[in-house]
Structure 1
Amino acid sequence: MDVFVTGFAAGLGLIVAIGAQNAWVLRQGLRRAHMGWVVGICIASDLVLMAAGTLGIGAIVDRAAWVLTVLTWAGVAYLCWFAFTSFRSALRPDAEGLRAQGAAGPGLGAVVGATLAVTWLNPHVYLDTMVFLGSLANQYGGLRWVFTAGSMTGSVCWFSALGFGARALSGPMSSPRVWRGLDLVIGVVMLALAVRLALGAI
């Protein structure tokens, strides 16, 4: 049980930090748009990455510097585009207010694609989830899968709480003014993350 709790805490510690993925889940939760798909993809991605790290694949990723470089610049480009669309939405609060109240927003395909992009184009997801958590898990020898199960449980709890918790707050936050502020904040976060990724790759 101690190993499980340690894995749970380690997983939450890496996932809870503000990032592109969490901002996207929060945004879609408040829009009440395809929330099951968004949460499901985030959780499934984490489970795959954590399992791969425990199996030792993280060591291979850690040595494939060119792969991380490609992912970094792809992530920078995507985050910049995400920031641009967020700033553009912030200038159209009436449209965002309609979306918050349930009017037509991005289709399922667009939402799935964006969720996959913010998850898999971030090089830190490989370093944190596969390399770091994988190395921690393997320190426990025969109990490594207990540690990994704790980390996986942390991921399930966090994304479920974030997505469906935001969905529950979508009514009180349906004001166009609130949506304009939210999109502005998300745009700033995305741009800051893009700059940080770019500086780290130079």
Structure 2
Amino acid sequence: MLTAGITGFATGFALILAIGAQNAFVLRQGLARAHVFWLCLLCATSDAVLITAGVLGFGYLVTLYPAFPQIMAWGGAAFLAVYGGLRFWAAYQGDYALQVAGTSGSLWRVLATGAAFTWLNPHVYLDTLGLVGAVSTQFTDTALKTAFGVGAVLASYTFFFSLGYGARLLAPVMQSARAWRRLDVLIGLVMWALAVKLIS
């Protein structure tokens, strides 16, 4: 069971480690030190639900609905393009008094944005329902499959809370509007690059 759990943890961590829109948003909120716990809980729990579904064998959704990935890709690309544009607009305006002070938008606005980054991202379905589900098929025993799933879920919680709270280590270099402007430009570029990648 330990081997299955470690395999699940390594698989989940490897898939989530790549810098994406969701991770960039969590990093930004971590730097702002605003609503970090609830955002990390939302992202990790969302992943946990999808990972559980993947391990339970719902990866066949893509085969049942071939158009599902394409619909999610266009929806996700549109959202990423808009959010990237908002980051460029924020960088252009340069008003970062709230961020430097360590505050941001309301909790519900942050959670709604975090949910959009999670559930409008077609890659999250491919990673959790598809890839994690596929890897879990090597464990036919229920106990081993459960251990694999628990390991993958634990990886998600470990990653998001480490990213959200670990971002505070960068706080000393994020005490100026210029630093926040550079971060927003970088995030904007990442968002637009991901949007192009989704529809290309």
- TM-score class, shorter: over 0.9
- Deviation string 1:1-60 (CA, Å, 9 cap, x unpaired) is 122111111111100101000001001111112111110110100100000001111112
Given that residues 96 and 180 in structure 2 are in contact (C-alpha distance below 8 angstroms), is that contact kept between their aligned partners in structure 1?
yes
- Deviation string 1:87-107 (CA, Å, 9 cap, x unpaired) is 0111133x224323135x321
1:140-159 matches, within 5 Å, as: 140-142=139-141, 143-159=144-160
Q: Give the Cα separation in 1 of the matches to 2:100 and 2:93.
A: 13
- Deviation string 1:102-139 (CA, Å, 9 cap, x unpaired) is 35x32122111100000010111001111110111121
Give the 4+ runs in structure 1 shifted more than 6 A. Answer: none
Q: Mean Cα displacement is larger for which, 181-190 or 32-41?
A: 32-41
1:43-54 matches, within 5 Å, as: 43-54=44-55
Q: What amino acid maps onto 1:106 in structure 2?
A: G
1:64 equivalenced with 2:65 (yes/no): yes
TM-score by length of 1: 0.93
**2:136 corresponding residue in structure 1:** 137
TM-score by length of 2: 0.93
SS in 1 for 2:96: helix
Q: Give the Cα separation in 2 of the matches to 1:179 and 1:37.
A: 22
Which consecutive residues of structure 1, in runs of 5 or more, have no partner in the other structure?
none
Q: What amino acid maps onto 1:4 in structure 2?
A: G
Distance verdict in 2 for CA 1:62–1:19, change over 3 Å: farther
Give percent identity, aligned residues only. Answer: 44
Q: Give the Cα separation in 1 of the matches to 2:17 and 2:63.
A: 23
**1:17 corresponding residue in structure 2:** 18
Aligned residues: 197
Given that residues 90 and 181 in structure 1 are in contact (C-alpha distance below 8 angstroms), is that contact kept between their aligned partners in structure 2?
yes
**1:92 corresponding residue in structure 2:** 93
Shift of 1:170: 2.7
